[in-house]
Structure 1
Amino acid sequence: MSYRRPAGLPYVDAKTPPVLVLAGPVTRDEVPGLCDDVRALLRGTGAGVVVCDVAGLGPPGLGTVDLLARLELAARRAGGRIRLRDPTPALHALLDLVGLRFQVEGQAEEREPALGVEEEVEPGQPAV
């Protein structure tokens, strides 16, 4: 099974990031077209992120890593990022092994830890 690009861009509202579904093993010849699709989705929708649904890619290999790295590079050059949807544990492990970090849909973004809760003090009560 190979990826076939749909005609035109999907309708996306301002709150929904565009989704690029990656299905079947993707050949090297298809990678430049997919990078073009990521750039077009970022520019056409004004979104800052493109969600890449990777559930249908099959067993991960170095070709998958290369594809995702190129899609991220294309997105960054267009002023955005990609976010993965439904990556398998094997894909997570392979990406960790090669040192690539991707934002995954449904996981909290890395940011500053929440500050402690401050207690309210009643007037006339000594501060602790």
Structure 2
Amino acid sequence: MSWSPRHGLLTVDAITPAVLVLPGPVTRDEVPRLCADVRARLAATGGGVLVCDVAGLGQPGLATVDALARMELAARRMGGRIRLRGPAPPLRALLDLVGLRFELEGQSEEREPARGVEEAVEPGDPAV
């Protein structure tokens, strides 16, 4: 059997989010291209979540924070959002410092209980 690579964007099903890998330090010159990638991947998957793999970024700086903020804005304008995969503690601290909140891969959403956790009802608790 032979396999030939397809041209254009990858086709992904609705369950598997698209992944955008940031392999190294991000510069301000790359931000427009990254935002265009975010828009294209969300358009190809019909919106939803775009996973941004930031594990290989190295030492984060304000250019990284600016790029992530602009990418999140581009995703929100397309009706989607960005979920970070593998952020290092310095990047998480820097994002917290500037007040940017990103969903992290593996975290449960706000309205969902964590997996494997069941709420217990104590006898005598009032019904809600």
TM bucket normalised to smaller: 0.7 to 0.9
Cα distance, 1:89–1:10 mapped onto 2, change above 3 Å: same
In percent, how many aligned pairs have the same letter?
A: 73
- Give me the CA root mean square deviation: 2.1
Structure 1 unaligned residues grouped into runs of 5+: 1-6, 121-128
Taking structure 1 as the reference length, the TM-score comes to 0.80
Distance 1:110 1:9 in 2: 31
Aligned to 1:72, the other structure's residue is in SS state helix
Distance 2:73 2:49 in 1: 12
Q: Spell out, residue by residue over 1:72-97, the C-alpha distance to the aligned partner (whole angstroms, 9 max, x if none).
A: 00000111000000000111111111
Distance 1:102 1:59 in 2: 18
User: 4+ residue runs of structure 1 moved beyond 4 angstroms?
Assistant: 112-116
Task: Give the aligned residue type for 1:109.
Answer: E
Distance 2:36 2:52 in 1: 14
Distance 1:14 1:116 in 2: 30
**What are the within-5 Å matches in structure 2 for residues 1-128 of structure 1?**
8-111=8-111, 116-118=119-121
Distance 2:35 2:50 in 1: 11
Distance 1:45 1:68 in 2: 20
Structure 2 unaligned residues grouped into runs of 5+: 1-6, 124-128
Deviates more, 1:9-18 or 1:92-101: 9-18
Task: Give the aligned residue type for 1:56.
Answer: G
- Whether the 8 Å CA contact 1:17–1:47 is kept in 2: the answer is no
| CA displacement at 1:28 relative to structure 2 | 1.4
Distance 2:55 2:121 in 1: 43
